[in-house]
Structure 1
Amino acid sequence: MTLPTHTNAVVAHAAGDLRVETVPLDVPGPSDVVVQVAYGGICGSDLHYWQHGAAGESILKAPMRLGHEVVGTVVRAAADGSGCAVGTLVAVHPATPGKGDGSAYPLDRPNLSPGCTYLGSAARFPHTEGVFARHIVVPATMLRPLPTGLSLRDAALAEPASVAWHAVSRAGDVAGKRVLVVGAGPIGLLIVAVLARAGAAEITVTDMHDLPLATAGRVGAGTTLRATDADAIASVQADICFESSGSARGLASAVHGARRGGRVVMVGLLPSGEQPALISLAITRELELVGSFRFNGEMDLVLEALADGTLGVEGIVTHEFAAADGLEAFDVARDSSRSGKVLLLF
C-alpha cells in the first residue's frame, strides 16, 4: 500500500492542552514496521501528562504524542526482512531496554535498565513519542503477533494486563493466599483477574466508587470494601496486598490490611518527592515492601491467556471513542466513578 505522509495523532502540548492534530509520519528505517492502529487504551500516565504536564518525575518539556497501549495491523513490513509480515495482527510492547549511564541492574529484569525508554514518555528529552495515531512507525522487535483467534478488540488490554501480571509475579506464589487489592482502576482490576487465574483463595478489593467495585466482583473479587472503611480494611489481614491507587492513603491502607510478616506490592506510582508512609508499622510487623514497575516478557503470557479465555476481563473496558473525539474520551477516562478502561478507535 502507499503510505500517507501524515497521520492523525493525540498530542499533549502542556498541562491542560491536549490536541487531536495531523503530524508527519516518521520515515521507516530498515528494521522498522508500519502499523495501522486499531485501538489505543488511555493510561493513567496519559491523563497525568494532560492534566498536570508531568507523570511522576517525567516532566513534559515539549509537545509529545501520547499513548503506549495499542494494537493494530502491520501494513508495511521491515525492509530488512525482520519481524512480522504484512497483515499480521499485533500488540505493541512499548519498552526498549538500554544500558544508559551504565548503572548496575539485574540483567534478567530489563525493565530496570537505566537507559530503558517507553513509548509516550517524557522521562527523557527529546521525549519518546507515543503511538496514539492512525499509523505508527516502530521497530519490528516491539511487535507481538496475536494468537490465532484473538481479535484486536480483545487484545486491547494486553499492555495494562502485562503490568498487572508482572505485579502479581512480584508477589511470589499467590495460590491459596488471602489477598487485598487497594484501588480498582484498570490496573487494580487486571491484578484481580490475574490473581483469580493464579488461584488466590480470597480476594478483597477497595475503592471509592460503585462502578469499579462492581467490576471487581465480576473479574474475581469475593469481597469489596469502601476505601474509607478503615476498620474493615485493617481486619482483612491479607498475606499479600497490592497498592494500585497511586496514593499515600492507599499505601497506608495496604500496610494496615497486611498480616504480620505479609508482603505489600507497590504498583501505583505515587507523586514525585517524599511521601508519608507507615514505616514503623512495616518494621514492627516485618512487612516486605516490594516495588513493581512496568513489565518484561509477560505480554506473551497475557496474550495466550486472553486467547484461551483463562484471563477474565469482562467489564474492564467501559467506553470506546473515535480518536477524533479524544478530548471527550480523556475527560471520561479521568472520572473513575463512571469509567474503567477507555479505548480510542483509530
Structure 2
Amino acid sequence: MLNCQIHGARDLRVEDAPVEVLSPTQVRVGIKAVGICGSDLHYYQHGRVGDFLIRAPLTPGHEASGQVLEVGSQVTSVRAGDRVAINPSRTCGQCRFCRMGASNHCENVHFFGSASKWPHMQGAMREQVVVEASQCVPVPEGLPFELAAFGEPLAVALHAVQEAGSLLGKTVMVVGAGPIGALILMAAKLAGASRLIAVDIVDQTLAACTRVGATQTINVAKDPAALEALAEGKGQVDASFEVSGNYAGLANCIRLTRPRGTIVQVGTLSGNSEACPFNQIMVKSLSFVGSFRFVDEYAWAVDYLSRGVLDVSPLLTDAVPVARVHEAFALAADRQRAMKVMVTF
C-alpha cells in the first residue's frame, strides 16, 4: 500500500509499505480522505511539534474517513463496504483517567500520527489502516468522505465549547480563526451563543468565519483599535477561546473578557509571555480552562455532519490526490489561500 511518511523537516516521502495483520476485533479501512492539521504541518516543516521530535519515519494524519474493506471475526458493528469516519484515538478504558470519564488524558492512548511516544504512533495518511471496530463510526452515503473527515477537528471544537459551560445568549470571541477556530464558532452558535466574534490577522480566514456564522470579524493586524469597544466596562465578552497559540492572543482574551467570564485555552502557546496580563485573571475573577482533544464528542461530531446539523463545506479548500501530496502540504501552509486541505486516496 502507499504510505506517506515524514522522515524529518521538509522530507515527506510516498513509499510502499506492507499491509497490517487483522485481529478478530479489528477493521481494515481503505482510506479515502485525510485532513492536514496544524500538527501535521509542524511535523512536515520542522520535524517536530514542540517537544515531540520525529525519531523515525512518521505517517501523519488524524482526520480521516474511508470505506471498510475487511472485518475481524468478532466484529458486528460494521461490515465490508460501509463508509466510516475514523476516531483517531484508541484509549485503554482501564487507567484512572478513562475510569473518571476523561479518556482524552488516557495514560495508554494510541493517537494517530503523533511522535509523542516511542515507538511513534502512526497516522492515517496511507491507503489502508487497521483499527479497532469501536473507532469506526458509520456515515451515510450522501456525506462526502472529505466532509466526514472533519469529524476529528469538529470534535475538538465541540469539546472546547463544552469546557466553556453554558453559552446560551452569550457573546463569544474566538482568537485565531483557522479551521479549529471556525469550527468553534459553529459549535458555539449551535450551543446558543448570540454574538460570535472572530479575531485573526488574515482576511481570508475571517471571510471563511463569516460564511459559517461569525457576526463580527476583526483583523487585529490592520485595525487593532477595533478591539477597544470590546474592552469597555472591564470587557464585553462572556466567553473567549484562544486558538492562535499566541500570548498576544491570550492577552486580548484576558483584556476583553468580562469579570467572572471564561477563557478556554485551545491553542498550544508559544512566543513571549512577558506582555500577557496574567494578574488580570485574578483581578477579574476569570475562569481559565484548558481544552485538550475530545472525549465523547467525536460521535457527536460525526452525527451532526451526517444529519446536516452543521455544514462544514465552506471550510473545505481543496481535496488533493496523494500523488500531489507535497502540493497539498504547501497549500495547507498558506493561510492566505487555505482553510482545510484534504489528501485523497
Same fold by TM-score, threshold 0.5 exceeded? yes
Distance 1:198 1:243, change over 3 A: same
User: Which amino acid in structure 1 is aligned with residue 124 of structure 2?
Assistant: V
Question: What 5-or-longer segments of structure 1 have no aligned partner?
Answer: 1-6
2:237 and 2:140 map into 1 onto residues whose CA distance is: 36
Q: What TM-score do the two structures reach when normalised by structure 1? A: 0.92
**Structure-2 residue corresponding to 1:204:** 197
Superposed counterparts of 1:177-188, under 5 Å = 177-188=170-181
Unpaired runs of 5+ residues, structure 2, are: 231-235
Structure 1 residues 134 and 121, CA gap change in structure 2 (3 angstroms): same
More deviation, 21-30/32-41: 21-30
The one-letter amino acid paired with 2:115 is: A
1:327 is paired with a residue whose SS is helix
Aligned mates of 1:105, 1:72 — CA distance in 2: 27
Q: Is the 8 A contact 2:247 2:272 kept in 1?
A: no
| Matches of 2:260 and 2:75, distance apart in 1 | 52
For residue 146 of structure 1, report the CA deviation from its aligned partner. 1.2
Report Cα offsets for 1:208-255 as digits up to 9, x if no partner. Answer: 111111111110100000133444224322100001112222212221
CA contact (8 A) 2:319 2:344 kept: yes
Secondary structure of residue in 1 paired with 2:299: helix
Q: CA deviation at 1:112?
A: 1.4
CA distance in 2, matches of 1:106, 1:28: 28
User: 5 Å matches for 1:275-290?
Assistant: 275-276=273-274, 277-290=276-289
Report the CA distance shift for 1:24/1:165 in structure 2 as closer, same or farther (over 3 A).
same
Equivalent residues of 1:203, 1:223 under 8 A apart: yes
Q: CA deviation at 1:154?
A: 2.8
Query: Structure 1 residues 36-45 or 53-62, which shifts more?
Result: 53-62
What does residue 263 of structure 2 align with? 264
Q: 1:148 to 1:314 in 2, by over 3 A?
A: closer
Moved over 4 A (4+): 102-106, 273-276
Other-structure match for 1:90? 84
Find the partner of 1:31 among 25, 31, 56.
25
For residue 331 of structure 1, what is the aligned residue in structure 2? 330
Report the 3-state secondary structure (helix = DSSP H, G, I; strand = E; otherwise coil) of the residue aligned with 2:314. Answer: coil
Q: Which residue of 1 aligns with 2:128?
A: 135
Quote the offset at 1:305 in angstroms.
Answer: 1.6
Inter-CA distance 173–255: structure 2 relative to 1 (3 Å threshold):
same
Aligned-partner residue type, residue 326 of structure 1: V
- Give the count of matched residue pairs: 338
Q: 1:160 — aligned with what?
A: 153
TM-score, structure 2 as length reference:
0.92
Residue-by-residue CA offset, 1:171-223 (whole Å, 9 max, x unaligned): 11111000000011000011111112222110010111111111111101000
Whether the aligned pair in 1 keeps the contact of 2:93 and 2:103 (CA below 8 Å) is no
> Residue in 2 aligned with 1:77?
71
Aligned residues of 1:234 and 1:258 also touching (Cα < 8 A): no
Cα distance, 1:275 vs structure 2 = 4.6
Structure 2 residue identity aligned to 1:64: L
Question: Conserved in 1, the CA contact under 8 Å of 2:20 and 2:130?
Answer: yes
Tell me the residue number matched to 1:4: none
**Alignment partners' CA distance in 2, 1:111 and 1:293:** 7
